[in-house]
Structure 1
Amino acid sequence: MKITDIECYPVWGGSRNYFFVVVDTDEGIWGIGEAGLTGRELAVQGVIEHFKTFLVGQDPFRIEYLWQMMSRGGFFPAQNIATSAIAAIDIALWDIKGKALNVPVYELLGGLCRDKVVCYPHIQRPSIEELVENARKHVAEGWKFVRWGLSEFGNILEPSIAIPQAVREFAALRKALGDSVELCFDIHTRLDPADSIRLCRAVEEFNPFFMEDPIRAESMQSLRLVRQHVHSPIAVGEQFASKWEFRQVIEEELMDFCRVDLGICGGLTEAKKIAGWCETHYIKLATHNPLGPVSTAACLHLNLSSPLVGVQEQPRKPGTSLMDVVTVQVPWENGYLLPPTRPGLGIDFDRDAARKHPFQIAELPQLRRLDGSITNW
């Protein structure tokens, strides 16, 4: 079997783009992958065009070899644009291998470690009343977790306003939902260490499942300071592009949950290594998955085959978006994702439908402090 083509499908989903990649072979078996790095899809597509020059003609079963070729073959170390391109191709190669061998991808990764994977939805709303109502709606549907994040007001994110608001939201949700529903909160790299510590300590009484991305990702040295002062579990890693960037937070045990993004960190091949490393430090996976149905499937196969899993991000139920493009999606039931039984990733992709949703330039929001200075979105 040989790779014959690699085709990119940047798809407009109504409010954002999704970036899918199809790898074709001379035996008619093809695989589907998805890249992250939302807002920089054209850059990822450019890298894939470079990769095509040496991947066409290669054996798609040599997944690790091809991963090394893409990661190290250009001399300059692959960072998040290149690793996002690698991720999409890598996931597609695993899909090809599963289809060719007529087994789900999780069987290739060691088989089932669990029967199902618990997941959390996004419940963000502009007011506390709407937030609580939306949380109750999701819990009634069967979700066991809810997740929301630090509030901005228009394009303003000011800690002195956002932190007290977050504390009020925690209090209202815990009162409305009781202790049986897990609360995940995303600071989204928007606070500096001192403000993040202040918020984390203020909400400890509400027993969050984790506090996500308490500081910016550029230097995890400062996470040591946060760790010393915070008792709630910490989740980080969604912006990391490789195992090398995870090294410090794993070895120094600066996180409790690993937010590895399969669409950015180099796909299943790299994520499986990161998961194994996390296991040696009792760090559970909490896969970052704000993307589309292909990423959902890839994360599910990793989580099904990994021994330590906390939760999978799942913004919405599978089968409720992009159904014309990804016509078969992974099963969901009562707050859990279930193992697919079809070979490969267990999903199906309609190329013609994807072409009917052409890419649109869409920048992510930009936030300011009250004084007009830039802050992280």
Structure 2
Amino acid sequence: MKVTSCETHIVATPPPHVGGMYWIFVSLKTACGIQGVGEVYAASFHPTVMEKAIEDVFERYLKGHDPHHVERFFRECYSSGFTQRPDLTMMGVVSGLEMACWDIIGKAAGKPVYELIGGKVNHKLRSYTYLYPENAKGEYDYDNVELAVECALQNKERGFTALKFDPAGPYTAYSGHQLSQNDLEKSATFCEKIREAVGTSCDLLFGTHGQMTPAAAIRLAKRLEPFDPLWFEEPVPPGQAEAMAQVAGATSIPVATGERLTTKFEFHDVLKNRAAAILQMNLGRVGGILEGKKVAALAEAYYCQIAPHLYNGPVGAAASIQLATATPNFLIQESIGTWDGFHAEVLQEKIDWQDGYIIPSDKPGLGVELNMETVRACSPYTEPTLHLSMDARPYDYKRQSSTHWKKTGL
């Protein structure tokens, strides 16, 4: 069996762009006619640049090769250009192409991928969602605690047993920073009011995006501990596990991290420094399904769990589901709502979500197929904005201290 062709599809997501501004799908085809799909989660460059990078990696390391040989593919890409070290963009490309190889492997074997990487452990996968509170105009309002509470209750009624929110203020290109008293109070109030509303029916997942210095994160954690969140996510910028370990050692809240990390090597650094109890690899960035499985195995040896990150399209989600299904130290999977809306429209058949759980597909490969009519209708992506962007201004303590947020009437 040999891979003969690769197509890249840049899909522009419709407003409000839940899951990012665009998704990068890749489609591989073998000489015997089997097609496999994957998704690249790489946000450093515009998708037009990524499209060229995908083409280069495919032509150089995958075209004409057997898709079963994922170890060879990973190592040659990992060492590309005399690097032999984690490269975020390269590993994003590798991840998408590698999961497409697994889709082909599963289809050729007539088995879901999870049956080929250890077999089914979890028959259903506990899931969580971000809170997307809407105001009267139908706009998302993340600063209104009343709306956040309403949204939390709605998601509890839908069946979710874990809810994530990030009220700690902007994440900037100049983070980490100390939080204003206003942002500290706002964060604690969100936890307090949502905990009062949902009681013990739901875990609270306190999301941040590397906004803080270790000292600032410890200050905030002390305020959040009375509400017993399941995790404190990425409290300091990625890249220095020792700094995150300072936070982990100073709070009773489990630290979670990993959406911006790639390969087993970066995750091993987190584990050996006891910097986190929960690893959040994104299967479209970490290096693919097999690399994600290796990260999960490392975590298992440290008695840590995985909670795969997902802020992209449903093909990356399908890969995460395959990994989670075959992983004994799986904790919870990020969902984007209940996989309705555009996440459903871009697939021929939506991801199966029931009463708070994702139900793994028993179809061969990744278990999903693209709806090419929708893909073509939403291509190309013509905006200059990247998938995600950080505030270009430094954190302004005075501005954050004067920011008004609704906290009364509860």
- Normalising by the residue count of structure 1, what TM-score does the alignment of the two structures yield? 0.94
Would the alpha carbon gap of residues 51 and 199 (structure 1) be closer, same or farther in structure 2, given more than 3 Å must change?
same
**Aligned counterpart, 1:116:** 124
Match of 1:149 among 162, 166, 177: 166
Structure 1 residue 279 and structure 2 residue 287: aligned?
A: no
Match of 2:39 among 34, 37, 51: 34
2:248 and 2:274 in contact (8 A); partners too: no
* Mapped partners of 1:198, 1:85: distance in 2: 38
The CA deviation at 1:64 is: 1.5
2:242 and 2:275 in contact (8 A); partners too: no
* Mapped partners of 2:170, 2:70: distance in 1: 46
Match of 2:50 among 23, 44, 50: 44
Query: 1:168-223 deviations in whole A, cap 9, x for unaligned?
Result: 00000010110121000112101111111011111111010000001011212212
The CA deviation at 1:356 is: 1.8
**Aligned counterpart, 2:30:** 25
**Aligned counterpart, 1:218:** 239
The CA deviation at 1:352 is: 4.2
Identity of paired residues, percent? Answer: 27
Match of 2:179 among 148, 159, 178: 159
Aligned to 1:191, the other structure's residue is in SS state: coil
In structure 2, give the amino acid aligned to 1:99: K
The CA deviation at 1:142 is: 0.7
* Mapped partners of 2:260, 2:87: distance in 1: 11
**Aligned counterpart, 2:68:** 61
**Aligned counterpart, 1:369:** 395
The CA deviation at 1:372 is: 9.6
* Mapped partners of 1:103, 1:68: distance in 2: 26
Match of 1:254 among 250, 275, 293: 275
1:147 and 1:185 in contact (8 A); partners too: yes
Runs of 4+ in 1 over 6 A off after TM superposition: 153-158
Match of 1:72 among 64, 76, 79: 79
Aligned to 1:6, the other structure's residue is in SS state: strand
1:34 and 1:295 in contact (8 A); partners too: yes
The CA deviation at 1:154 is: 11
* Mapped partners of 1:365, 1:310: distance in 2: 29
The CA deviation at 1:365 is: 4.2
2:145 and 2:190 in contact (8 A); partners too: yes
1:84 and 1:263 in contact (8 A); partners too: yes
1:297 and 1:329 in contact (8 A); partners too: no
Unaligned runs of 5+ in 2: 133-141, 400-410
Query: 1:256-285 deviations in whole A, cap 9, x for unaligned?
Result: 100111111111011110000100011100
The CA deviation at 1:153 is: 7.2
Aligned to 1:340, the other structure's residue is in SS state: coil
Structure 1 residue 359 and structure 2 residue 376: aligned?
A: no
* Mapped partners of 1:371, 1:211: distance in 2: 22
2:92 and 2:284 in contact (8 A); partners too: yes
Unaligned runs of 5+ in 1: none
Query: 1:222-257 deviations in whole A, cap 9, x for unaligned?
Result: 122212211110001111111111122112322110
Aligned to 1:354, the other structure's residue is in SS state: helix
Query: 1:64-102 deviations in whole A, cap 9, x for unaligned?
Result: 112222222432235000000000001100000001111
* Mapped partners of 2:129, 2:88: distance in 1: 26
**Aligned counterpart, 1:233:** 254
Query: 1:24-81 deviations in whole A, cap 9, x for unaligned?
Result: 1111111111111236333432321211223211111212112222222432235000
1:13 and 1:322 in contact (8 A); partners too: no
The CA deviation at 1:150 is: 2.9
**Aligned counterpart, 2:327:** 306
* Mapped partners of 1:63, 1:89: distance in 2: 10
Count of aligned pairs between the two proteins: 373
